[in-house]
Structure 1
């Protein structure tokens, strides 16, 4: 991949090549260190590492360790992650895939009942089969081997001390402990969160102690990833997943054999920037397709108070989701036509389908080299976090991390929750015609993810910005809306993230109805879009733009994030 002062030529996943004029000097080098994360304690843990001279990856390890304690509903040691990394010295971008994988004994029909019908999600999510082999820790270890500065064993102290001494339960965690999700009825969830006075359920302001997590972090610090992927903790993970109902098939060999993947990022132009994301099984290709579709509209000449802007965003989103849902899966198991989905001619033809009125759900398109795939039936709940870090050398981490649903599978080992990423597969593996689903279960396969941690470069390959979000299958829409608001509408980043969310996928139009004006809602309804309140967790977008050589960072006001910076 190479960028000159005047032209960006992109060589990305599956041979995609496109060129776009990119003005030089859109930003200027600026190495002010910062951490943007969903919880102040996590951001402070990362900033403390930067103060000690640590790298962005060093700080990411500290942030993840703390998030697993103070935001266990969203991510943790027992989950997976994607990281997009900018190396300031070489001006190169690389992607790290820490997505969970299906155990070696997983089968395509593992989420079907005896009659061949898909299991109810509420039943599957609490099962032992729900947990995939976790990947976040080994991914971070790989990135640390390549980009770390401080010793691994020096990066867990903040989280360990906080777990030992306890932390104050935040309003958001207190809210989600009583949220109506299946996991809140799981024995491990009930036991862990009944630490209030007299054994009552914790509430905001209570102190929550997690001695088991502190002890595990001490082992992780001293033993490295082997503390999770073997030994006593590994054995407990396997044992916990093999408990009924619907016992899983994970083995110690599955844990030992897990390997993170360093991938070439998937990059495409948007306006004056080059946008880079992890390739499939992440959904960066969907984000790039949506942005590419929007470039064929006049959304950049509109604004947040223009109902036509939201109409264009909704219709472009539906076209993108139809393609993403049909074609994206683990590229080791299915041919993902990423080059075809992002080809200029395909985007131009697809954008022509945006008419004057919203009609029935659009069908998936037929990009070049697209295989014949079944319709997708994946259900993607929310339970994710995103953070962005830059160190003093200008290296940047944009990382999205998850345990999938709120509190994952609801099963806990050594003070952390296990993921339920196996339920991110399509429960129905083939359609009536025998065509496979791109995201069907298979042994050793990585489930499709909606995560899209992205980085932006200017025409000189300087770091220009980063975006990412939580929110299940809505992540793509949350990120793209924020980018449109920050880039096309030129809003300050914090204001851009506060702009109302709208997610259009298939027949559903969901959004923050109370944040749109009655005039916008009425105008959208007149064009066939009857916006309904969204479901599940809110967005959790964190973002930064480099404007006039200054860090313009933002955190999603719907959560408890913070932007922390160090003096240059």
Structure 2
């Protein structure tokens, strides 16, 4: 059961940081701060200084994509517990010129030497959650390059300069990120220690809140990319250092894995919800789980149920269980497995699955459906510019500091996303060379009458699709503003079967309820058969920018569970 950490406990690392901050959860409908409003442009992410970096790019004439890349690079320095150029990236772009949405899957693939027989010979039933065998090729830098080449207006040198400056001069560490830093026990590797610990006399330790953190090695890696482009990472010195580390510690990387890497432009997938079109990216990510959940919820009068009611939370959790059962069975790299996306997100399939819902009783044994009707540590950022180009971008090294390994002199940790493959030969998400693993990180966007209305995301493993749904219901059904929609109390269902092939937990899993969920509601959920666990705060972190269709004014929110800010001008 050690491997169950991935979906039930791995993101306790993120929660631990939030618990350390001991921030209260805001009552439903209220917000911890005013909505940020602006007319020219806006950036929202989980470190205020990174948001300011993006805003400066907008003020300097850059567009939303330029600002998103600069912000992403800054976040790789400022929140290295969760992201960096050793991880992956996904994005949805609204291009004002063509009036179209574009999706980017910038996730990495399994090394060519990563085969099922190799892991079976080692006696492994699951891929380790840390160490070199958990690696997949980092996709972030190629993602930047794809975005910049197709939609950007500025070069890497200009976009990476602010992050380079902060890396050399130092950046103060805010309290939630500091708490998370201290909660991660992955600092035995020399490369990690030299990069992510600060000296305190003769000892090394994690930086305290308010302490300045420098990363000259990352500054140098960014300079290589600024001068040599994405090839400096995938065909140059950075790749060579990563492969050298792999050879030293028993990894499977080869230079060819990096040289062959490329991102993929994909068509976003939509489901309508009460007149709004909600857009997610297709698998191998879990975005369509949010669409499946919305389809199951839409026939119900959620507004009448009310926020924080037992009827609403029961419906939400049961919809999550049904979507996650399908996620475990079907979600995989569509290049290697047939994923029936259109059927999974159809209203007809939702109606068929809805027959399993009982308003008075929790599901304890949740089978996957038959959709053939017609024949995971993360940061999020979003940017809207003066022309109303929009970027919804999410990046991650997976669990805290990824694999816990860093090639000396590079300044970044290497992700452990490869541990999400299944080692079951019959599983859609089974490990195969060159295959992309199931992915937890999902950007989202909502359009209304063919125009962008909301660009948003919620980080945090299993919480991500659940958070997307809760934010949208708060906005659309309960009439909350863009800040309150993220601050409102949440529940999180954990314990469903996972795409790694792990079975569901006992009694249908657990419902993690924040303090803002009333005692009488928890008692009623318990009466209906839910196993409820009280937590100080659930994982996840939300940012969103809403474009008022009447005034064209931008409304930004960033929730109080994180350190971030929405800034505009």
TM over 0.5: yes
1:499 aligns with 2:488: yes
Q: Distance in 2 between matches of 1:407 and 1:224?
A: 25
Q: How does 1:296-307 map to 2 (within 5 A)?
A: 296-307=299-310
**Does the 8 Å contact 1:196/1:206 carry over to 2?**
no
**Does the 8 Å contact 1:164/1:214 carry over to 2?**
yes
**Does the 8 Å contact 2:293/2:320 carry over to 1?**
yes
Which residue is equivalent to 1:25? none
Q: Distance in 1 between matches of 2:406 and 2:175?
A: 22
1:397 aligns with 2:391: yes
Q: Quick one: structure 1 residues 509 and 535, their matched pair in 2 at CA, closer, same or farther if it must change by over 3 Å?
A: farther
Residues 277-310 of structure 1: per-residue CA shift (max 9 Å, x gap): 2111112211111111111222233222311111
Residues 234-292 of structure 1: per-residue CA shift (max 9 Å, x gap): 11011223333xx2211111101101001111122111211112111112211111111
**Does the 8 Å contact 1:64/1:77 carry over to 2?**
no
Which residue is equivalent to 1:452? 442
Q: How does 1:338-377 map to 2 (within 5 A)?
A: 338-355=341-358, 356-368=360-372
Q: Distance in 2 between matches of 1:69 and 1:425?
A: 28
Shift of 1:205: 2.0
Which residue is equivalent to 2:248? 243
Q: Distance in 1 between matches of 2:325 and 2:465?
A: 13
Matched residue SS, 1:493:
coil
Which residue is equivalent to 1:51? 59
**Does the 8 Å contact 2:482/2:557 carry over to 1?**
yes
**Does the 8 Å contact 2:174/2:209 carry over to 1?**
yes
Q: Distance in 2 between matches of 1:132 and 1:229?
A: 13
- Give me the TM-score of the superposition, normalised by structure 1: 0.86
Matched residue SS, 2:66:
helix
Which residue is equivalent to 2:433? 443
Matched residue SS, 1:417:
coil
Which residue is equivalent to 1:78? 86
Matched residue SS, 1:262:
strand
Q: Quick one: structure 1 residues 331 and 486, their matched pair in 2 at CA, closer, same or farther if it must change by over 3 Å?
A: same
Partner residue of 2:171 out of 162, 167, 174? 167
Which residue is equivalent to 1:218? 223
Q: Distance in 2 between matches of 1:77 and 1:537?
A: 27
Matched residue SS, 2:163:
helix
1:105 aligns with 2:113: yes
Q: Quick one: structure 1 residues 536 and 71, their matched pair in 2 at CA, closer, same or farther if it must change by over 3 Å?
A: farther
**Does the 8 Å contact 1:398/1:454 carry over to 2?**
yes
Partner residue of 1:482 out of 471, 487, 508? 471
Which residue is equivalent to 1:12? none
**Does the 8 Å contact 1:171/1:204 carry over to 2?**
yes
**Does the 8 Å contact 1:471/1:537 carry over to 2?**
no
Shift of 1:127: 1.9
Residues 201-236 of structure 1: per-residue CA shift (max 9 Å, x gap): 121222211111111111111111111112221110
Q: How does 1:520-539 map to 2 (within 5 A)?
A: 520-533=521-534, 538-539=539-540
Partner residue of 2:265 out of 245, 262, 267? 262
Matched residue SS, 2:368:
coil
**Does the 8 Å contact 1:105/1:249 carry over to 2?**
yes
Matched residue SS, 1:125:
coil
Q: Quick one: structure 1 residues 184 and 522, their matched pair in 2 at CA, closer, same or farther if it must change by over 3 Å?
A: farther
Which residue is equivalent to 2:142? 138
**Does the 8 Å contact 1:337/1:368 carry over to 2?**
yes
Q: Distance in 1 between matches of 2:121 and 2:527?
A: 43
Which residue is equivalent to 2:514? 513
Q: Quick one: structure 1 residues 112 and 473, their matched pair in 2 at CA, closer, same or farther if it must change by over 3 Å?
A: farther
Which residue is equivalent to 1:233? 238
Which residue is equivalent to 1:189? 192
1:285 aligns with 2:288: yes
Q: Distance in 1 between matches of 2:404 and 2:545?
A: 33
Which residue is equivalent to 1:407? 401
Matched residue SS, 2:69:
helix
- Cα RMSD of the aligned pairs, angstroms, is 2.0
543-552 or 252-261, which deviates more:
543-552
**Does the 8 Å contact 1:299/1:312 carry over to 2?**
no
Matched residue SS, 2:148:
helix
Q: Quick one: structure 1 residues 229 and 351, their matched pair in 2 at CA, closer, same or farther if it must change by over 3 Å?
A: same
Which residue is equivalent to 1:375? none
Shift of 1:185: 4.2
**Does the 8 Å contact 1:510/1:534 carry over to 2?**
no
Q: Quick one: structure 1 residues 337 and 117, their matched pair in 2 at CA, closer, same or farther if it must change by over 3 Å?
A: same
Q: Distance in 2 between matches of 1:488 and 1:410?
A: 42
Q: Distance in 2 between matches of 1:486 and 1:81?
A: 26
Residues 317-349 of structure 1: per-residue CA shift (max 9 Å, x gap): 111111111100000011111111122221112
**Does the 8 Å contact 2:156/2:225 carry over to 1?**
no
Q: Quick one: structure 1 residues 503 and 361, their matched pair in 2 at CA, closer, same or farther if it must change by over 3 Å?
A: farther
Structure 1: runs of 5+ lacking an equivalent? 1-29, 372-379, 431-435
Which residue is equivalent to 2:33? none
Q: Distance in 2 between matches of 1:455 and 1:118?
A: 34
Q: Quick one: structure 1 residues 142 and 118, their matched pair in 2 at CA, closer, same or farther if it must change by over 3 Å?
A: closer
Which residue is equivalent to 2:455? 466
Matched residue SS, 2:459:
coil
1:558 aligns with 2:561: yes
Matched residue SS, 1:63:
helix
466-475 or 37-46, which deviates more:
466-475
Shift of 1:533: 4.2
Which residue is equivalent to 1:376? none
Partner residue of 1:423 out of 412, 419, 424? 419
Shift of 1:131: 1.4
**Does the 8 Å contact 1:513/1:531 carry over to 2?**
no
Shift of 1:118: 3.1
